[in-house]
Amino acid sequence: MKILITGANGLLGQKLLRTLSADYYDIFGVDLHPEPFCPDVDFTYAALDLTDRRKTLERIAAWQPAVIVHTAAMTDVDGCESRREDCWRINVSATETIAKTAKSCSAHLIYISTDYVFDGKSGPYDETAVPNPLGFYGKSKLAGENVVRGAEIDWVILRTIVLYGTGRRVKSSFITWLLAQLRSGKPVKIVNDQWGNTTIVDDLASAIDRVIMLQKTGLFNVAGRTFQTRYDMALTAAQIFDLDASLISPISTSEFKQPAPRPLRSGLIVTKAERELYLTFRSTEQALELYREQEKAATI
């Protein structure tokens, strides 16, 4: 089976390459960079700007994938607020192109979305909750969801939250930033009024693997099992990595003054995904223990 991964050089893309290649799929990947970041994985790579509609249609039509996992997106929440045209081109217009190619190839499209489609007033949310995004990033991802839903194809939307993990040359996540600060002995202020459940990338990749294997369609929430504040997660990380928790102090979101609005009481209920995909997602402690093991292995 041919599987195409957009955003193959990203955190999720890299984890998918390693996860899916172990199942002997014929893997194809695209990203903006001229070279793949995982040259040790056996797959076909091409540099591709998904906002170039003609080239995207031609490239994917030539490969004829049976499954497209669309991970590529603009995820800088504050950047999306200030660069709205870029955000829309990447998160919505490019998704329209991907959906069109999926239809022409009769491909199963898996779209990665976010808890930012909600306003954070009554989380955690299940799959039946009505979206109401606060900022432009969430609005663009909800628009992408609607594109996928209306494309007359077999689709899956996976909503996730605060994704982190290990990879090569990947963008900084909340956890990688936090650990770097604490290891340098720098004090950090972490919001204590933003609630949610964070997600290690291994769990999301496993869920995508099961979606492909079981040929699932529909909407699923995929996240860790622990519902807590960012501040409490930071304290847990300090404990797991044996770092100085006294460097961590709480701050409210209003004091932090971030450019884009954040959903405060967010979080995703994952009961449906665990039941239908036959998975058990990790707690914060389990996920951070795995992260620590992978980080050590990468430095050997």
Task: State residue 299's pLDDT score.
Answer: 63
pLDDT at 22: 78
Contacts of 286 (CB under 8 A, 6+ apart): none
120: alpha, beta or left? (left if phi > 0; alpha if psi -120 to 50): left
| Cα angle: 227, vertex 228, 229; to 5 degrees | 145
Q: Where are the alpha helices (DSSP H) in the chain?
A: 11-21, 53-63, 77-82, 84-88, 94-105, 136-149, 174-183, 201-214, 230-240, 253-256, 271-277, 284-299
- Mean of pLDDT values over 34-47: 96
pLDDT of residue 24: 82
Q: What percent of the chain has pLDDT over 90?
A: 95
Peptide bond into 133 cis (omega under 30): no
Nearest residue to 230 via CA among 157, 137, 161: 161
pTM of the full structure? 0.96
Q: Are 28 and 2 in contact (CB under 8 A)?
A: yes
pLDDT in tens, 178-193: 999 999 999 999 999 9
What is the sign of the dihedral through the CA atoms of 218, 223, 225 and 226?
Answer: negative
Interval 122-129 mean pLDDT: 97
Question: Which pLDDT score is estimated for 257?
Answer: 83
Q: What percent of the chain has pLDDT over 70?
A: 99
Which phi and psi (to 5°) does residue 44 adopt? Answer: -95, 125
Q: Is the pLDDT of residue 300 over 60?
A: no
- Tokens describing residue 71: 């991970």
The three-state secondary structure class of 58 is helix
What is the H or E stretch that residue 163 is in?
strand 163-164
Using pLDDT thresholds of 50, 70 and 90, give the confidence band for residue 64: very high
DSSP class of residue 225 equals: S
